[in-house]
Amino acid sequence: MIQSEKKLGIWLDHSNAHLMELINNSISTTTVESTFSHAKKNETIEKSEQLMHNKEQHEQLAYYKVLEEIILSYTNVILFGPTDAKTELYNLIKNNRQFENIKIATLPADKMTENQQHAFVKEYFETLDKDLYNSHYLTN
């Protein structure tokens, strides 16, 4: 395993993201929330559906931009969760040259407790490390 590799798991949906940094088999978690809440959505719907859609889209992009800035600090990232948010974020960054040296994968996952999220991230990176270790020695 590369010592300087920084690993991050992100369980996300459209309203919040749980960022789990894996260091020495230990996980520290932080949360990023979208500023577009259910209450704002209801308030905006009363005014205009078009306005609501524009506001939601703008705030969703701002939410993804925050996550992009965080991802830039890592070398290996797994995006997972129950909605299309992981794929939307991945599609925003996949052609951006800033991310070309970062390994980013997406996997579907149901709603999970914090402990289940931590186990998912640890298992993903353990499996990845084993595969890299085995492929390195199988090819030599």
The stretches in the chain having pLDDT less than 50 are 1-3, 38, 135-140
pLDDT the model gives residue 115? 96
Tokens of 29: 């978690």
Distance from C-alpha of 52 to C-alpha of 117, rounded to nearest angstrom: 32
Tokens of 137: 């020695």
Whether the Cβ atoms of residue 139 and residue 133 lie closer than 8 Å to each other: no
pLDDT the model gives residue 90? 96
Closest C-alpha to 64, from 33, 25, 29? 33
Domain 7-139: which CATH number of 3.30.420.60, 3.10.350.10, 3.10.20.30, 3.40.50.720? 3.30.420.60
Length of the chain: 140
**Any idea what DSSP says for residue 9?**
E
